[in-house]
Amino acid sequence: MRFHLPLVTVLAVGMWATLCASAADPKSDPAQLEFFEKQVRPLLVEKCQECHGSQKQKGGLRLDSRAAVLAGGSSGPVVVAGDPAKSRLVEAIGYADTLRMPPKGRLSTDQVATLTSWVKMGLPWPETAGARPATTGSTLKVTAKDREFWSFRPVREPPLPTVKNQDLARSAVDRFILAKLEEKGLRPVVVADKRALIRRATFDLIGLPPTPDEIDAFLADESPEAFARVVDRLLASPHYGERWARHWLDIARYGEDQAHTFQARKYPDGFRYRDWVVKAFNTDMPYDRFVTEQIAGDLLDGPDRVDRLAATGYFALGPVYYGRATADELDDRVDTLTRGFLGLTVACARCHDHKFDPIPTTDYYSLAGIFSSSDYKEHVLTPEGGIDEKAVQEPTDKMAKDKKKDPRKPVIHSLAEGAKTADLKVHIRGNPATLGEDAPRRFLTVLAGDDPPRFAKGSGRLELARAVASKDNPLIARVIVNRLWAWHFGRGIVGTPSNFGALGERPTHPELLDYLAARFMAEGWSIKTLHREIMLSATYQLGTKYDTRSAAVDPDNKLLWRMNRRRLEVEPWRDSMLAVAGNLDPTTGGPPADLSSPDNRRRTLYGSVSRHNLDPQLRLFDFPDPNLTSDRRPVTSVPLQQLFVLNSEFMARQAKSLAARVMAAEPVDSTRIRQAFLLTYGRPPNDRELRLGEEFLSVGGADAWEKYAHVLLSANEFAFVD
Amino acid sequence: MLCRLGGGFGTLGLASVLACETPAAAGPLTPHNGHFPPRAKRIIYLFMNGGPSHVDTFDPKPDLEKFDGTDPPQGASKKGKLMKSPFAFRKAGRSGIEVSELYPELSKCIDDICVVRSMHHETPAHERALLLMNSGNVQPIRPSLGSWLTYGLGTENQNLPGFIVLCPGKPVVGPQLWSNSFLPAVYQGTHINNSSIDPKTVIRYLQNREPAPEQRRQLDLLKAMNDIHLAERGPDTQLDARIESLEMAYRMQFEALDVFDLRKESTPVRERYGPGQFADACLIARRLVEKGVRVVQIYFGNDQPWDDHKDITNHRQHAGKSDRPIAALLQDLKARGLWDDTLVLWGGEFGRTPTSEGAKGRDHHSRGFSMWLAGGGVKGGHVHGATDELGMDAVKDRVHVHDLHATILHLLGLDHEKLTFRYSGRDFRLTDVHGQVVKGFLA
């Protein structure tokens, strides 16, 4: 059977023919070259070069250079430049005769017209004009000049700047800050009062409000070390790791399932990674170790293998996509690795050399090859908590249907060396079907030199981990030091914590960043030491008072003339309500629980994190999408959030408990109000607030106190930290 | 606007850091102008999840009758024999556009509709295609169309969400289809499960626990306390914004209760829309856009009802539930003066094969399929593009999903190349590096 299929391209072809007639030299006509790049090259790459390119040459034909096109195949020439009617290529794509190309399906009429026009034009192809050859995806050469960009230079501890107001500087950190302020003729505001300070430090370190007793103890301690003692007490709290693990989980795009549902891989035991992160913070695991274990914990020797396997959850719990989209999964791994640890957007180089940073596309595939040489593995746990080396469990997405009802054994979701380890080739334009040059598994050229050593052991993951977590890597310390700063101040020294590249922001205080990074490495990569260094500075202890003159000069407070007021993220905000109501269940670790149940009294960290259907309260309050690594949370205020505040069962319950708590503790409204203020805001009410409270309570009925407590929990002061 | 779009986090603010000079009350959803005057101010997107067959709805193929039961030509690549449509096509309206018998009522509106017969994409799998249609990417890593629109334009009614998604249950993929992804959470779609429409529960936490005067008394105390707190601290747009949003939430309780209450519609109106979940959703959509909601998306049903692999005649049921409501919606928009600035879009994630699957069904097909647009800025009574004689491939004036997205943004006054958000080291767009505005749709 033959079909008479329409050919509606005559008009388009004619138009192009007219264009060509006026073009003296097709090879140098920029319009034609643009036509080639925009229309023809993508078509050749997508539709032809899989069989007629660098990998395969079916019929002896290659269609990846002008010379090759003109040379033709084993049965002779396929084009006559300028004459489509005599060109077998045009005949084949017309699908009118026995030779029909591409065999998998005919091109669209537009596509046929495009190739026909191109032949008619005489095959314009910018081979010599500096355009990249079609057989490679990468032409970028990293130069010495590229390595002079601020973030790629080696970290050096700078000398401390001199400042005029020596008395305002309590620590080295302050001198860097003061020097910049003095340059602009600015002066920091007064330091925060002790109540504000302990509230700030407590929320910062453990994500909960200080108790009235803790506040009293701090107020009573008049020694110069009083605040240092508060900081040390908080750093030693088991709740410290809970607070800081959640920051890290944003980077790790931690999630316990997939966005899709059909044959989706689930991570019911993903919490073991979450708990590993909590423990790592609580035990002050050196950061280089923290990084190494997450990349290659399975490949390290020594005790605590169970922990180290859990650490690889950083990658093992990553998203996998519907329909074996391996290339997209590798993109996620490279993206989360490089933005997370290095502050570099290497995933931009998947389809082409990075447009702004010195990252050739070969570098992307060098890293991707390490992950394609690694496998996902579920290690079955014994009842004693060890690894059952003999037991096997199929991942949920690979399980046979009839097995789905079998009770799943407890596992650790982890990485393992791949059954096959091999380099990838560059995917030209990101297309896995058109392969370019080899991309040996190794570290980034901008960081590791012009010809970085190849990773030789297995997947190369352990060598990668060593290279990432190395003192010779100028980014690793700068990036984490900046993150810590941002989580303390609400803004990083570099305002784009996961992008230290050309399109990222420049550091406001580059010397301070290097000072902190150098000290951090010199002092054993201790996160807790870094907290102390930052928090014991006068800068951290500044008040949040507004100053008209300073605001006029530096409205964004980039120079830190005051502390930034910050709104609590959803986790500490919810946890605080439970805490002041006396309802918080302080149990640590273990399987996640549904947050939407008003009976869930555990910290928000322990709520389920679904990539498919994120908990509505989390979604509403700026929790990041767990499908992507996230470096900053936006702060949005919209009415739907306040409907939760006004009407949710959760809020009503906490209000009721808080009311009962203060009513039981104090005999009359005036002292009850005082106690409620101390619990919720860490301070006594002023006269006006006391009067407002008494007036409100005098009118209502039996539940007046519940309603009043509800207001206290709903107020800005409860949601913001000075 | 420039500040917002260029700066990414700009007015949303991180902590107390506010890079942009904006009035305190101007929240991230405050309505603002796009890049040029819009042809439509709002959009209703009727999503026929599962994938309606183009050759059985809006793309008649007489050759399928001729070659019914024979092998498809080489290169057509699908298994199965060619299968004619079990439904008759009839010319409709002054334009004479042929529409299948599945849509007798909608056919009467054909002169107001621009039928696109040359849609195509590369992904004939539900999940990936749903994501592509909604976010321009096949993986769950990009903001949805509705999120981009509310980010670019804000919304006109601050007492209602700006982007509302109605689905009785959940489409396949689910919330990622209306996800804000890396855009701030304020731009996420609000999903309303309209399998039962109780105005008190359609929006989470909408129901007022206290009698209104009692709650007002709480709000007054809250306002007084927040004012004291603010006065002691000096100007702070974050504090202002939260005070303002508490008041908005209070008002939203009443406005939202009202807008979802279909009992407020007259009997003749309700009869025009007819019974059923989809009909109710269409009527709610009209009430929402009337109140200034920017984006309303209606999924036809739970899961993927249009996915008729086994028997294509089941399309009769789906069309039966949606024909009258859609026609009523279009007429109602006209009657209420909303037509000229409301864009209506109809389509699924792909079409279905011109060949049979099993005895009577059709498989997924994305190489050529149909959608339609109507309303503000759209050329009515017009057919754009064509598939080949068998409905296999879009061959004339092909329209990719990216082109559709570019055109939707264009109609709403946004330049798809300028609507960007800086994230992960570059400026992202709904259309990524693709997309051309399809002038052929435009009136």
Residue B57's alpha-carbon distances to A363, B352, B354, B369, B394, in angstroms, are 49, 11, 12, 10, 16
Residues in chain B closer than 8 A to A261 (CB atoms): 172-174
CA A671/CA A688 separation, integer angstroms: 15
Contact status of A630 with chain B (Cβ, < 8 Å): yes
> Cα–Cα distance between B254 and B199 in angstroms, integer?
10
Residue B269 distance to chain A (closest CA, Å): 30
Residues A172 and A515: beta-carbon distance below 8 Å: yes
pLDDT in tens, A387-431: 998 887 888 777 666 555 667 889 999 999 999 999 999 998 888
Chain mean pLDDT for chain B: 90
Query: Does B29 contact A at CB distance below 8 Å?
Result: yes
pLDDT band at B207 (very low <50, low <70, confident <90, very high): confident
> What DSSP designation does B92 have?
E
- C-alpha separations of B214 from A85, A701, A713, B211, B288 in Å: 85, 11, 17, 5, 29
- The nearest CA of chain A is from the CA of B382 a distance in Å of 19
Q: Which site among A542, A635, A703, A717 would you substitute to test the B interface, given the most B Cβ atoms closer than 10 Å to its Cβ?
A: A635
For residue A335, list chain B residues with Cβ-Cβ distance below 8 A: 424
Which of B246, B250, B252 has the highest number of chain A CBs within 10 A, making it the mutation to test binding with A?
A: B246
The pLDDT score that the predictor gives to residue B198 is: 82
What does the block give as tokens for A230? Answer: 């508060």
Contact indicator for A288, A246 with CB cutoff of 8 Å: no
CA distance A142 to chain B (A): 19
Q: Which residues of A touch B120 (CB under 8 A)?
A: 108
Pairing outcome for strands B369-375 and B113-120: antiparallel
Q: Residues 404-433, chain B: which have Cβ within 8 Å of A?
A: 422, 424-426
Q: Is B125 within 8 Å of chain A by CB? A: yes
For residue A552 the two structure tokens come to 């006029």
pLDDT at position A131: 41
Three-state SS sequence of A488-530:
HHCCCCCCCCCCCCCCCCCCCCHHHHHHHHHHHHHCCCCHHHH
Cross-chain CB nearest to B245 (options A489, A555, A637): A637
> B24 and chain A: CB distance < 8 Å anywhere?
no
Q: CB-CB: which of A567, A634, A641 is closest to B9?
A: A634
Higher pLDDT, A696 or A114: A696
- Is B238 within 8 Å of A635 when comparing Cβ atoms? yes
B204 and A722 in contact by Cβ < 8 A?
Answer: no
d(CA A341, CA A671): 51
pLDDT band at B134 (very low <50, low <70, confident <90, very high): very high
Which of residues 318 through 347 in chain A touch B, CB cutoff 8 A?
319, 321-323, 325, 328, 335, 339, 345, 347
Grade residue B204 by pLDDT with cuts at 50, 70 and 90: confident
Q: What is the pLDDT of residue A136?
A: 52
> How much is the mean pLDDT over chain A?
90
Chain B interface includes A11 (CB < 8 A): no
Rounded average pLDDT over A445-473: 96
* Per-residue pLDDT at B117: 98
Dump strand ranges (E) for B83-227: 89-92, 97-100, 113-120, 163-166, 190-192
Contact in structure between A196 and A214 (CB atoms under 8 Å): no
Is A544's Cβ below 8 Å from some Cβ in B? yes
A:B CB pairs within 8 Å: 277
CB of A690 within 8 A of CB of B221? Answer: no
> Which residues, in sequence order, are CB contacts of A477 under 8 Å at separation 6+?
A155, A287, A471, A517, A518, A520, A521, A525
If pLDDT is split at 50, 70 and 90, which confidence band does B26 have? low
Q: What is the pTM of this model?
A: 0.81
pLDDT of residue A300: 97
Give the whole-angstrom CA distance, residue A433 versus residue A460: 25
Inter-chain CB proximity A105 and B77 less than 8 Å: yes
Cα–Cα distance for residue pair A209/A525, rounded to 1 Å: 28
Using a CB-CB cut-off of 8 Å, the residues of chain B touching A646 are 205, 208-209, 215, 219, 246, 249-250, 253
Average pLDDT score over residue span B398-415 = 98
Give the chain B residue whose CA is nearest to the CA of A706: B218
Residues of A296-331 as b/e, b for ≥16 C-beta within 10 angstroms?
bbbbbeeeebbbbbbbbbbbbbbbbbbeebebbbbb
pLDDT in tens, B232-285: 998 888 898 899 889 989 988 888 889 999 999 999 999 999 999 999 999 999
CA of B142 vs chain A CAs: smallest distance (Å) = 9
Contact A720, B236 (CB under 8 A): no
Which residue from A635, A699, A715 is facing B14, i.e. has the nearest CB? A635
Q: Residues B344, B282: contact at Cβ < 8 Å?
A: no
User: In chain B, pLDDT over 90 holds for what percent of residues?
Assistant: 74
Q: Does A657 touch chain B (CB under 8 A)?
A: no
Span A628-677, pLDDT tens digits: 999 988 888 888 899 999 999 999 999 999 999 999 999 999 999 999 99
> How crowded is residue B185: how many other Cβ atoms within 10 Å of its Cβ?
27
Put simply, whether B235 touches A (Cβ < 8 Å) is yes
Over 50: is that where the pLDDT of A689 sits? yes
CB contact under 8 Å between B229 and A716, yes or no, is yes
Q: Which two tokens stand for residue B181?
A: 């992804």
Arithmetic mean of pLDDT, B366-374:
97
User: Using H for helix, E for strand and C for coil, what is the string for B262-287?
Assistant: HHHCCHHHHHHHCCCHHHHHHHHHHH
Residue A32 has pLDDT above 90, yes or no: no
Closest-CA distance of chain A to residue B196, Å: 19
Tell me, yes or no, if A103 comes closer than 8 A to chain B by beta carbon. Answer: yes
CB contacts, 8 Å: A105 with chain B: 75-77, 367, 393
A641/B138 Cβ within 8 A = no
Is the distance from CB of B273 to CB of B329 less than 8 angstroms? yes
Do B166 and B139 touch, CB atoms closer than 8 A?
A: no
Asked if A491's CB is within 8 angstroms of B15's CB, the reply is yes
Output the pLDDT for position B9: 32
Question: Which of A3, A503, A621 is closest, CB to CB, to B73?
Answer: A3
Question: Which tokens in the block code for residue A363?
Answer: 């570098």
Would you give the DSSP letter of residue A47?
I
Which residue in A5, A643, A654 has the most chain B C-beta atoms within 10 A of its own C-beta, making it the best mutation to test that interface?
A: A643
- In angstroms, the CA A444 to CA A355 distance is 16
Q: Given B173, B226, B248, which is nearest A639 (Cβ)?
A: B248
pLDDT tens for A198-252 read: 999 999 999 999 999 999 999 999 999 999 999 999 999 999 999 999 999 999 9
A636–B186 C-beta distance less than 8 A: yes
pLDDT digits (tens, 9 = 90+) for A501-533: 998 999 999 999 999 999 999 999 999 999 999
Q: Which of residues 555-574 of A touch B (CB under 8 A)?
A: 555-557, 564-567
Give yes or no for B396 touching A (CB within 8 A). Answer: yes
Q: Please say if the pLDDT value at position A24 is more than 60.
A: no
Dihedral sign computed on CA atoms, order A73, A75, A78, A83: positive
CB contact under 8 A, A261 and B217: no
CA distance A26 to A719: 67
Q: Return residues 306-345 of B near A (CB < 8 Å).
A: none
Q: According to the model, what pLDDT value does residue B166 have?
A: 95
- Measure CB to CB from residue B233 to each of A546, A611, A710 and give the nearest one: A546
- Mean pLDDT throughout A298-323? 94
Q: Are strands B351-352 and B369-375 parallel, antiparallel or unpaired?
A: unpaired
Q: A360 and A451 in contact (C-beta within 8 Å)? A: no
